[in-house]
Structures are given as C-alpha cells and as structure tokens.
Amino acid sequence: MLSFLLVEFGCAPVPNYINRGNTYQDYINSGKTYFESKNYEQALNSFSKAKELQPSNWLAYNRLGETYYYLKKYDDAISQFTISLNMREGWGAHQGLGESYFALQTFEKALTHFLKFKELQPSNWLAYNRLGWTYFNLKKYDDAISQFTISLNIREEWGTHQGLGESYFALQTFEKALTHFLKIKDLQPSNWLAYNRLGLTYFNLKKYDDAIIQFKTANNLKEVSGNFTGLGKSYLELGDYENADIAFSNAFKTTQDDYEKEQIKIIWASNYLM
C-alpha cells in the first residue's frame, strides 16, 4: 500500500466542476478527485494532461505512478516513479517504486527503495513494515522480525503482528508466533485468516483440539479449503477418522486449484493407510 493512499477512499461522486478547467492545477485536482473515487482511467487521463502542461514537474509523474500502480500496470508505474525521482527525491516515489517492485516479486529492488523510504522517513511505521515483508519474502526471517518489531513500537497495526507471526512461524518458533496471531484476533475479530493461522500454530504445537476450534471459527467466517484441510489433519491426529473424512471431502470440493486437490488426496489417503 502506497503511503499517499493509506486512507481507504469511498466512491465519492465526481463534482461537476472537474472538467471545466484546463490549467495544470485543474488537471491535478480533477485527477485526485477521480482517483479518490477509484476511477483510475479518468485519473490517468487528467494526470497525463497535467504532465503535458508541466513536463518538468515531478508531481504529475508521481501521481501517474500511483495510478498505474492501482491499475496493476507495475512496469508503467516504475517508469513514472523513476522520472519523478530523477526530478526530485521524495520518500513517496521510493515507496511507490518499492511497492511496484514488490508486486512484481522483484524483492531485492523493492528492498533498495524501502531502505531509502526508511532513511527519509525514520519515524514512519510503514517503512519498517514494508521492509519486514520484503525480508520475509527473501526468507530473511530474523531481519523481518527486526523490522516488524520497530514498526510495532512506532504504531500497533494488525498487519505488523501478522508479519511477526508469519516470521516466527517460518522459523518454527510457534509459541512466539501464537502470541502475534492472538493479537491479530484481538484487533481483527472478524478476520478469518487470524483463526486459520491460530489453527495452524496450535496444530504445530500438537494442541489438536485447540486447532479444531480455530479452524471451525475460521470456516464460520469464510469457508476455504485450507480451513477444511487443517480440520482434517487435526482430526486425523486425534484418531477421529470419520470427521477427518468429512473435512477432507469439503476441502476437495472447496478448492479450484488442481495442485491443491492432489495434495488433499495424498493427505486424505493417509487416513486409510493407518
């Protein structure tokens, strides 16, 4: 998520005045209004016209970068953010580049720009959060934990707890992972993923009854194959083959992914090999 778009905008009506002007600032203002109403194609048109009127103004390129990012045109976003950055170094452009490279899974390049983001905004929790997720994807889990912890000390966010939970889980430090997944549940009690991650953590701690409770709660919020698979595996560990059968059957029906179906078949078949 880009810093300039941290607020989740609603679909506000577009005022009648936005097409009346033809100055640089008029186009910047109309582009911002279109952008905030999630009308990204119209925003792109306005910001492009602003760029034509002031081709040496970094802001138009920055705004174009943001818009391309939300249109999932990441290469175009990178191009515009780079031009903006060459005109004026700003933390927003570095963040935009980091987010765009992250979306393309080019994590080393994302890291370079998130490090610059942190350097320019050392008190911004989001810089450390994004560094944490980048290190996580690079499988540098200790570095991820370090960055997520700094982020959390600046501002508590459920996503940062998730990052810490996932990092500790990857290191198989399940008790510490549990602490942070419980915090997600406290902060996001309607988030099915919090219960799913708790279920997986309890399973790895061999607390199968607790795992079942969490997977069932997750399913009550959102039925996904992973919740059913977690239930099936937990029931298997408890020797409850009937409920394991039901859970694996539901997992198989729920997923559309062929590879996941094959994995479910393998686990499910183990029921009959015991």
Helix (H, G, I), strand (E, B) or coil at 88: coil
Please choose, from the candidates 219, 215, 212, 164, the residue with its C-alpha nearest in 3D space to the C-alpha of residue 187: 164
| pTM assigned to the model | 0.88
Residue 272: the pLDDT is 57
Q: b/e per residue, 202-227, with b = 16+ CB within 10 A?
A: bbeeebbebbbbbbbbbbebeebbbb
* Cβ partners under 8 Å of residue 232, min gap 6: 244, 245, 247, 248, 251, 264, 267, 268
The Cα 125–Cα 9 span in angstroms is 21
The Cα 229–Cα 215 span in angstroms is 9
Residue 273: the pLDDT is 52
- pLDDT averages per 10-residue partition of the chain, 274 residues: 37 41 91 96 97 96 98 98 97 98 98 98 98 98 98 98 98 98 98 98 98 98 96 95 94 83 73 56
Residue 269: the pLDDT is 74
Domains of the chain by range and CATH?
Answer: 1-88 (1.25.40.10), 223-274 (no CATH)
Helix (H, G, I), strand (E, B) or coil at 224: coil
Residue 20: the pLDDT is 53
Residue 7: the pLDDT is 28
The Cα 99–Cα 20 span in angstroms is 34
